[in-house]
Amino acid sequence: MTRSTTPTASQDVSARQGEPVWRRRHLLDVEELSPEEITCVLDTAEGFKEVSTRSVKKVPALRGKVVVNLFFEESTRTRMSFTLAASRVSADLLDFSAKASSLSKGETLRDTARNIEAMGVDIIVIRHPAAGAPHYLTRCVDCSVINAGDGQHAHPTQALLDVFTIRQVRGSLEGLRVAIVGDIAHSRVARSNLWALKKLGAEVILVGPPTLVPKEFEALGATVSHDFDEVLGQVDVINMLRVQMERISSSVFPSIEEYSRLFGLTTERLARARPDVLVMHPGPINRGVELASEVADGPHSTILQQVSNGLAIRMAVLFLVNQAAASES
Amino acid sequence: MTLPGRFKQREARPAVFARQNGALPERGLVLAQRRGGGYAASVWAGAVAVKTILDERGMAETLAGLADQIAASVPRDGRLAVVGIRNRGEVLGDRLIRLLEDRGFDPIDRGVLDITLYRDDLAEKGPDAVVRSTEIDFDLNDCTLVLVDDVLWTGRSARAALDALVDLGRPQAVRLAVLVDRPGRELPIQADFVGVRTQHADQHVNVMVAETDGQDRVEVG
């Protein structure tokens, strides 16, 4: 039998006695979150992980609430993850797809959102190609807004699930060195990860060709490197960004072969990394481009763990913004 | 003003609090914090009559008595699981497991239930609701499950716990064991095993356990 005393027992008491950490109705960006708020999301997600392992994969926390997926940009996994997360906390879900909408008939974002809100919606999950669209939305509507990716700006739930995954394996992020490799300049995943990692005490090295990793990023508190091999042996985590194929033809991007040779994570490269290194990827993977198949499916890879953790993080975020909204109404 | 943490009242509720506040101001009820719709009341020690009903030895004897009741009642030929409701039910559940092992039950499955997501006052609690994990890594189906909590009062925690259990499996039977039974039920729920009973619905019960509060003690006041 198991009779281990849980390490969280004493934390529970202190958490209950203090003022609540999370009071935000919206989740727009990791940049604005305090380390305590990030930790609160991760701790809450810890409680939601178990829900996905039961026979009845559902809790009644958001029963009677309505969540809308408002996606103006293609997405499969983030959208599915939010859909599943909403159903696991018992919220009702409306799925809005830009293509099939009146947007193609010229309706503005503001009008679309206000019309949807008029139907009695509690939380809008928005993905939009324009940076700042979710922030703008919070000024148009009264309901909660969760940013599921805006332009090249932020993708907070991806960053939260990434740090959650690292914490799950390594216990803490304090003092860890994390390399983010790829098209940093155009990546909202990289930006949000940078904030989350730094706030939790990790050191961040951004790796890629100079055209995709400008030195300006050092102003945000990261180290910039254009030599993957040099960084390889120094890091605890390697987060490989997806090569966005639509950029391949542009002048800032080297050819696929050249990129893959210099910045792809191959088995040969992995052999020179630390033996306990974690290999992460936000998906979907271009096998053989940024990540070799053997590495993606190998023992260092946390890719599938990230996907299932994403569900717990999104359940936690839906729960937290809803609780914060409940106290304001 | 800072008050000693151990005098923080648990389960303080507006109606009860208002009653006390009206009746006892000069006698030292000094602080009521409104926080996210909930109330936390603290009592200044000595001024208001806080009475210890169980000390360390009393608590040990009461738990032993609870274990005797459970041992006499649950079948010995089936699987037994003890599941504590966070937070203090977890600690008490662990102690009951040891006592039940001494009484010949072995192995006993151990579990911890976090009922936050099943509470019926989630909206009122707002940001004060803290979610922790539920740890039940054994098969609930067909076992006899003893649910453990520190205080049974309104019955709402027990209701939430029962709903949570239904989502986890189908025990052969669920029994409720509580250290303190306080009058004031708001739902048709009763405990199967009771350590001690208090007399007045508006008398707060404060359970302290060494593991999280530094000492074993039950106070009313």
- Mean pLDDT computed over every residue of chain B: 84
Residue A328 has pLDDT above 90, yes or no: no
- Mean pLDDT computed over every residue of chain A: 91
**Would you say residue A260 lies in a domain?**
yes
Most confident listed range (A208-212, B143-147, B197-201): B143-147
A284 & A169 share domain: yes
In whole angstroms, what is the distance from residue A135 CA to residue A132 CA? 5
Residue B21 has pLDDT above 70, yes or no: no
What average pLDDT does this structure show over B14-33?
38
The chain A residue lying nearest B8, using CA atoms, is A17
Q: Which of residues A47 and A250 earns the better pLDDT score?
A: A47
Interface of B with A (CB under 8 A): 5, 8, 35-37, 86-87, 90-91, 94, 97-98, 106-110, 112, 114, 116-118, 122-135, 137, 163, 166-169, 211-213
A296 & A166 share domain: yes
Q: Which of B155, B131, B85 is nearest to A62 (CA)?
A: B131
A191 & A211 share domain: yes
A218 & A191 share domain: yes
Range of the domain at A164: 156-304
* CATH code where residue A99 lies: 3.40.50.1370
- Cβ distance B95 to B76 under 8 Å? no
**Would you say residue A5 lies in a domain?**
no
pLDDT tens digits, residue range A21-59?
A: 999 999 999 999 999 999 999 999 999 999 998 888 999
Q: Which residues of B touch A10 (CB under 8 A)?
A: 212
How many structural domains are present in chain A? 2
pLDDT tens digits, residue range A173-189?
A: 999 999 999 999 999 99
How far away is chain A from the Cα of B211, in angstroms, using its nearest Cα?
Answer: 8
Q: Where are the alpha helices (DSSP H) in chain B?
A: 14-23, 56-73, 88-102, 122-125, 156-168, 210-213
Which residues face B48 on adjacent strands? B45
A309 residue type, one letter: N
Q: Which long-range contacts (CB under 8 A, 24 or more apart) does A295-302 make?
A: A295/A265, A295/A266, A295/A267, A295/A270, A298/A267, A298/A270, A300/A270, A300/A273, A302/A165, A302/A169, A302/A278
Can you say whether the dihedral through the CA atoms of A259, A264, A266, A268 is positive or negative?
positive
- Cβ distance B86 to B115 under 8 Å? yes
A76 & A204 share domain: no
Q: Percent helix, strand, coil in chain B (nearest 5)?
A: 35, 30, 35
For residue A57, give both structure tokens: 């994969």
A24 labelled catalytic: no
A135 labelled catalytic: no
A293 & A312 share domain: no
State the catalytic residue, choosing from A155, A191, A199, A314.
Answer: A155
Q: Which of A18, A24, A14 is nearest to A134 (CA)?
A: A24
What average pLDDT does this structure show over A92-112?
78
Residue B42 has pLDDT above 50, yes or no: no
Q: Which residues of B touch A44 (CB under 8 A)?
A: 130-131
A228 & A103 share domain: no
Can you say whether the dihedral through the CA atoms of B54, B55, B56, B57 is positive or negative?
negative
Q: Quick one: pLDDT at residue A329?
A: 64
pLDDT tens digits, residue range B77-134?
A: 999 999 999 999 999 999 999 999 999 998 999 999 999 999 999 999 999 999 999 9
A300 labelled catalytic: no
In whole angstroms, what is the distance from residue B134 CA to residue B116 CA? 10
A314 & A283 share domain: no
State the catalytic residue, choosing from A25, A44, A65, A78.
Answer: A78
A271 & A196 share domain: yes
- Cβ distance B52 to B217 under 8 Å? yes
List the domain boundaries for chain B.
Answer: 5-48, 53-220
**Model pTM score:** 0.86
Tell me how many residue pairs between chain A and chain B have CB atoms under 8 A apart.
Answer: 104
**Would you say residue A10 lies in a domain?**
no
Residue A106 has pLDDT above 90, yes or no: no
Q: Quick one: pLDDT at residue A100?
A: 59
Residue A301 has pLDDT above 70, yes or no: yes
**Would you say residue A7 lies in a domain?**
no
- Cβ distance A236 to A178 under 8 Å? yes
Residue A112 has pLDDT above 70, yes or no: yes
A190 & A122 share domain: no
**Would you say residue A13 lies in a domain?**
no
**Would you say residue A266 lies in a domain?**
yes
Helix, coil or strand: residue A61: coil
Under an 8 A CB cutoff, do B122 and A61 touch?
Answer: yes
DSSP string over B17-48: HHHHHHH-GGGTEEEEEEETTEEEEEE-BTTB
- Cβ distance A180 to A242 under 8 Å? no
In whole angstroms, what is the distance from residue A305 CA to residue A64 CA? 30
What average pLDDT does this structure show over A154-158?
98
In whole angstroms, what is the distance from residue B175 CA to residue B146 CA? 5
With both helix axes pointing from N to C terminus, report the angle between A303-328 and A77-88 in degrees, rounded to the nearest 10.
50
- Cβ distance A98 to A129 under 8 Å? no
**Would you say residue A11 lies in a domain?**
no
Residue B37 has pLDDT above 60, yes or no: no
- Cβ distance B116 to A44 under 8 Å? no
- Cβ distance A179 to A202 under 8 Å? no
Fold of the domain built from segment(s) B53-220: Rossmann fold (3.40.50)
A7: confidence class by pLDDT, cuts 50, 70, 90: very low
**Would you say residue A109 lies in a domain?**
yes
What average pLDDT does this structure show over B23-38?
38
Q: Which residues of A touch B106 (CB under 8 A)?
A: 1
A162 & A290 share domain: yes
A128 & A35 share domain: yes
